[in-house]
Amino acid sequence: MKIGAALHYTPLDHAARWFGRILPKGLYARALIIIIAPVILLQSVVAYVFMERHYELVTRRLSSAVTADIAALIRIYESYPQDREASTLSRIASESLQLDMDILHNTDLPPPGPKPFFSILDETLSNELRRQIDRPYWLDTVGRSNFVEVRIKLDQNTVMRILARRSQAYASNSHIFLVWMGGSSFVLLGIAILFLRNQIRPILRLAEAAEALGKGREIEFRPRGAREVRQAGYAFLEMKRRIERNLEQRTTMLNGVSHDLRTILTRFKLSLALMQETPEIEDLKRDVDEMSRMLEGYLAFARGEGGDAGEQAGETDLRQLLAEVQADAERQGHAMKLDIVGDPIIIVRPDAFRRLLFNLVSNAARHGDRIAITADHETRWLVLHVDDDGPGIPVSMREEVFKPFVRLDEARNQDEGGSGLGLSIARDIARSHGGDISLGDSPLGGLRATVRLPA
pTM score: 0.50
In sequence order, the 6+-apart residues with CB closer than 8 A to the CB of 35 are: 189, 192, 193, 196
pLDDT band at 450, cuts 50/70/90?
very high
411 falls in which pLDDT band (50, 70, 90)? very low
The pLDDT assigned to 383 comes to 92
**Spatial contact of 384 and 372, defined as CB atoms under 8 Å apart:** no
Report whether pLDDT(185) > 90.
no
Q: Which of 262-276, 284-298, 352-366, 438-452 has the lowest average pLDDT?
A: 284-298
pLDDT of 306: 41
> Dihedral angle at the C-alpha atoms of 428, 433, 434, 436, nearest 10 degrees?
-40
- Residues 162-179 have pLDDT tens digits of 888 877 777 666 667 677
Return the closest-CA partner of residue 357 out of 384, 331, 377, 380.
Answer: 384
Identify the pLDDT of residue 244. Answer: 80
Q: Which of 53-57, 121-125, 262-266, 358-362 has the lowest mean pLDDT?
A: 53-57
Q: Which one has a higher pLDDT value, 301 or 35?
A: 35
Averaged pLDDT for residues 79-103: 81
β pairing state of 370-377 and 335-342 = parallel
Q: CA triplet 8, 13, 17: central angle to 5 degrees?
A: 120
- Whose CA is closest to 332, among 374, 368, 365, 363? 365
Checking if the pLDDT of 4 tops 50, the result is: no
Segment 366-390 mean pLDDT:
88
The answer to whether 150 touches 164, Cβ cutoff 8 Å, is: yes
Asked if residue 150 lies in contact with residue 137, where contact means CB atoms within 8 angstroms, the answer is yes
Share of the chain above pLDDT 70, in %: 84
- CA angle at 390 for the pair 332 and 351, rounded to the nearest 5°: 50
Rounded-to-integer distance, Cα 454 and Cα 343, Å: 13
User: Between the CA of residue 195 and those of 38, 266, 293, 335, what are the distances in Å?
Assistant: 17, 66, 59, 60
User: How confident is the model over 296-325, as a mean pLDDT?
Assistant: 71
Amino acid at 348: V
For residues 171 and 445, the model is more confident at 445
- Domains of the chain (ranges plus CATH)? 22-211 (no CATH), 222-303 (1.10.287.130), 311-410+418-454 (3.30.565.10)
Segment 343-364 mean pLDDT: 86
| Residue among 455, 401, 414 at smallest CA distance from 433 | 455
Average pLDDT on 59-82 reads 84
Categorize the per-residue pLDDT at 416 as very low, low, confident or very high, splitting at 50, 70 and 90: very low
SS3 160: strand
pLDDT on residue 386: 92
Task: Give the pLDDT confidence score for residue 289 in this predicted structure.
Answer: 78
Q: Which amino acid, residue 192?
A: A
Lowest-confidence pick of 44-48, 49-53, 291-295, 415-419: 415-419
Q: Range with the lowest mean pLDDT among 146-160, 165-179, 399-413?
A: 399-413
Work out the pLDDT band at 384, boundaries 50, 70, 90: very high
Give the model's pLDDT for residue 414. Answer: 41
Answer yes or no: is pLDDT of 206 > 80. yes
